[in-house]
Structure 1
Amino acid sequence: MSIQLNEGVHLHVLPTKKYKTIRIMLKFRAPLNKHTITKRAMLANLLETNSKKYPTQTALRSALSTMYGASFGTAVTKKGNTHVLTFSLNLVNEKYLSKGDNVLQEGIDFLKEVIFSPNVEQGQFHEKTFKREKENLEDYYDSLFDDKQTYASLSLQELFFEDDNQKTPSVGSKEDLKEITSSSLYEYYQEILNQDKVDIYVMGDVSTGEIQSAFEQFNFAPRQLEETNSFYKEPAAKKIKSKTEYQDVIQAKFNLGYTTSVFYHDPSYYAAQVFNGLFGGFPHSKLFMNVREKESLAYYASSSMDTFRGMMTVQTGIDGQKVEQVREIIALQLKEMQSGNFTQEAVSQTKEMLKNQLFQSEDNSGSVIERIYAMQLARGNGNELSIDEWVRRIEKVTKEDIIEVANQVKLNATFFLTAEAK
């Protein structure tokens, strides 16, 4: 059930007796902007560690432990043209406790404290905390460079997209971090609280009226968020963009980016999920079986789809000397898909694996909320799609549908990270 608490602020209560915990998520959404992405990542780090009432990490963790080991965390994500800052709290359902504690209200009060009363002194974030978290985020950026699989993935993204906002990772960049001060960050946080579109999700065995009353106390001001299309579509490239980078690596990385024209829950979405599973998403896929197993050309080879940006990525870890063979055999596997050279048995196996993934995700309330939120970004606050309907649409996918999707896939960019030949 969706309740408007104020203009631009919606509460979504999802009563269910399936879980023994209650999951609360607050999602702050803003248009994707290179100049604010790093600030939002920094805020996620900062607001997770302390507040005015809980001025140290120890005090904050102690507060969580008194709520029977509640778990709290923050995250930043990118969905097409949107950047999302999330606060997440998972609480034990007090109905399973014998002492009669009001854990739910304690948890909501905790979130209110962390969000509205951060550790601030004289119009800026607590300087010691700010410096520590800034250093931590800087170290995290350095670790992305050290993780060559992640580095290659981010480098392909930077090459693939023309738009600077899309080039920038959801966690921001070390370059932009340098410019942020404790006062400029606090000033931007006030903008988030007053201008971001806010969606609050509560899932568990709860009373809608009780939840509504509790969150009405948060006093979010009305805000008007400019309605933007959540989907980003990369313009067709006139020629394939390719980049080779040399570093001291033992295992080379060869990543390929394709445009797909497939977006979240559009009519071809379900066929695209089956296509991706057949092409490189599962252990029985063409990439895994032919590039890795049969030809032994890769240590790993897989594909994944970003359906908020119409992009498919192929990631491989290879012997750098064999890159041309790998390039050719990947192109051949796509051609096989485009010509319908795959069995009905493989299609059925892929559908079963997709359904199993879906059913397994139902065991985690956080995953369910993320799926509902993605659907709302894609479709507005309309009716949700039931699991049964999702399964029905997967089962309806035909071989012709898969071939049609495969023929929309066009290579846009390749990134090759390898060691210099000796």
Structure 2
Amino acid sequence: MTQEIQPGVFLHVLPTEKFKTVRFMIRFSARHTKDNAGARTLLTSLLETNSQNYPTQTALSSRLAELYGASFGVGMAKKGNLHQVNATLTLVNGKYVGDDALLAQGVAFLREVLFAPNISNGQFDEATFQVEKENMLSYIKSFAEDKQAYASLQLQQLFFKEDADQQVPSFGTLATVSALTAADLVTTYEKMVREDQVDIFVVGDVTEDEMLALFAPLPFPKGERVHPEIFFKQPAINYVEEKQEQEPLTQSKLNLGYRSEIYYGQLNRFALMVFNGLFGGFPHSRLFMNVREKESMAYYASSSYDSFRGFVNVQTGIDATNREKVLHLISEQLITLQKGQITDEELEQTKAMLKNSYLLSLDSPQALIEADYLDNWLPESVMDDETFLRCIDEVTVAQVQKVAQSIQLQAIYFLEGEGANA
């Protein structure tokens, strides 16, 4: 059941007897921008740490312990053009511990942390703010040490060179976070609760009526809320952007970005899923078997795709001296798929792994939430489990071949080991 309890605020109840727990998630969705990503991410840390009635992290943790060890967190995510702030509470279903009031207490806890944050005199608690800001700055700086993550971010900046917002990751940048004040975060918080689209999800053995009674009274400000376009459409270019850097590494990073015109909701996305599985998504894929295993040219080699931004990403870890050989090998693997050189066995193996992954997701409360979120954001894409699995089964070699022929190399990022490692 999905019900709009006020303009722009939706309650999604997913009744199921699969779980002995109940998961609540309140998601705030707004357009992702280079300016708001860092502030919204830092806000998640402040909301997660304390509130007016639980002014310390210890007090908040003690309350969760009283709720039979409930787990709570506030995080963020990015999907296409959207920046999402997610407040999640998972607690045991009260019927299993003889406490009929437990779910109501859980909603009351969410109400407290979301609508009574630790704000006074127009700013968040300064001590908490400074600690969480320093933690976040340390986190962002740590990406310079994680070379695989660093290379991934550099490729993203190169691939989305013409769009400043898409270049910036979901957690923002060092510069934007460094400039934030405790008062700035109040402005960010007020804008989020007032203007974001809100989706409230409940997964567990509950009834729609009881959840409506619990969540409808939440004091969301009334007014017009945003509903941004979820897809980012990457413009095509007729050349390849390249960037190379050098650092003292034992393992160089070679990442490639391909543009795709296939997006979530389109039927040919199933062929894209199979293509990615064959190209670099699974252990039997071309990149893994040929570049890594057979030719021993890579420490790792894989591909992934983002069907909300038209982005196919290849990541490899290599010896710097093998750069051109690896580029050639990656191109060769793609060409074999463009020619339709796919055996029945590997096609069926890929489909089986995709279907198994989908079936496993049906046992995950979070996967059920994400599926329902997209069903409601993109109602034209709704399909039942049987149809989804059949669409995977019906993918043909010719369809995979067409996908392989349609993707375009747009960016190459190479992080080269320097000196003795070059």
TM tier relative to shorter chain: over 0.9
1:157-195 residue CA offsets vs partner (Å, 9 max, x unmatched): 001002010000011111101111001111121011100
1:109 aligns to what?
108
Distance 1:221 1:388 in 2: 40
For 1:156, the aligned partner's letter is: L
Q: Is the 8 A contact 2:249 2:418 kept in 1?
A: no
Structure 1 residue matching 2:248: 3-state secondary structure: coil
Query: Is 2:39 aligned against 1:42?
Result: no
1:213-247 residue CA offsets vs partner (Å, 9 max, x unmatched): 11111021233234432111111123100000111
For 1:120, the aligned partner's letter is: I
Alignment of 1:402-413 (within 5 A): 402-413=400-411
Query: Is 2:340 aligned against 1:376?
Result: no
CA shift for structure 1 position 397: 0.8
For 1:308, the aligned partner's letter is: F
Structure 2 residue matching 1:111: 3-state secondary structure: helix
2:123 aligns to what?
124
CA shift for structure 1 position 383: 7.7
Q: Is the 8 A contact 1:51 1:117 kept in 2?
A: yes
Structure 2 residue matching 1:230: 3-state secondary structure: coil
2:75 aligns to what?
75
TM-score normalised to the size of structure 2? 0.97
CA shift for structure 1 position 94: 1.1
CA shift for structure 1 position 37: 0.7
1:3 aligns to what?
3
The total of aligned residue pairs comes to 419
Alignment of 1:317-332 (within 5 A): 317-332=317-332
2:417 aligns to what?
419
Structure 2 residue matching 1:414: 3-state secondary structure: strand
Distance 1:374 1:301 in 2: 30
2:293 aligns to what?
293
Distance 1:252 1:76 in 2: 30
TM-score normalised to the size of structure 1? 0.97
For 2:90, the aligned partner's letter is: N
Alignment of 1:263-278 (within 5 A): 263-278=263-278
For 1:356, the aligned partner's letter is: N
Query: Is 2:138 aligned against 1:139?
Result: yes
1:348 aligns to what?
348
For 1:53, the aligned partner's letter is: N
For 1:146, the aligned partner's letter is: E
**Residues 1:383 and 1:234: Cα distance change in structure 2 (over 3 Å):** closer
Q: Is the 8 A contact 2:252 2:415 kept in 1?
A: yes
Q: Is the 8 A contact 2:197 2:226 kept in 1?
A: no
1:338 aligns to what?
338
Q: Which runs of 5+ in 2 are unaligned?
A: none
Alignment of 1:67-216 (within 5 A): 67-97=67-97, 99-161=98-160, 162-216=162-216
Structure 2 residue matching 1:313: 3-state secondary structure: strand
Structure 2 residue matching 1:213: 3-state secondary structure: helix
Structure 2 residue matching 1:232: 3-state secondary structure: coil
1:397 aligns to what?
395
Aligned-residue RMSD, C-alpha: 1.2
Distance 2:264 2:86 in 1: 21
Distance 2:25 2:118 in 1: 21
Structure 2 residue matching 1:325: 3-state secondary structure: helix
Distance 1:4 1:372 in 2: 14
Q: Is the 8 A contact 1:6 1:221 kept in 2?
A: no
Deviates more, 1:291-300 or 1:26-35: 26-35
Deviates more, 1:26-35 or 1:275-284: 26-35
1:384-422 residue CA offsets vs partner (Å, 9 max, x unmatched): 422222111111111111111111111000110112244
Alignment of 1:50-65 (within 5 A): 50-65=50-65
Q: Which runs of 5+ in 1 are unaligned?
A: none
For 1:151, the aligned partner's letter is: Y
Q: Is the 8 A contact 2:334 2:404 kept in 1?
A: yes
For 1:29, the aligned partner's letter is: S
Q: Is the 8 A contact 1:197 1:223 kept in 2?
A: no
Deviates more, 1:237-246 or 1:302-311: 237-246
1:116-150 residue CA offsets vs partner (Å, 9 max, x unmatched): 00011111000000000000000100111111110
What's the % identity of the aligned pairs?
45
1:72-97 residue CA offsets vs partner (Å, 9 max, x unmatched): 11111111111111111111111111
Distance 1:188 1:8 in 2: 18
Q: Is the 8 A contact 1:196 1:223 kept in 2?
A: no
Structure 1 residue matching 2:317: 3-state secondary structure: strand
Structure 2 residue matching 1:48: 3-state secondary structure: helix
1:255 aligns to what?
255
Q: Is the 8 A contact 2:280 2:302 kept in 1?
A: yes
Structure 1 stretches of at least 4 aligned residues deviating more than 6 Å after TM superposition: none
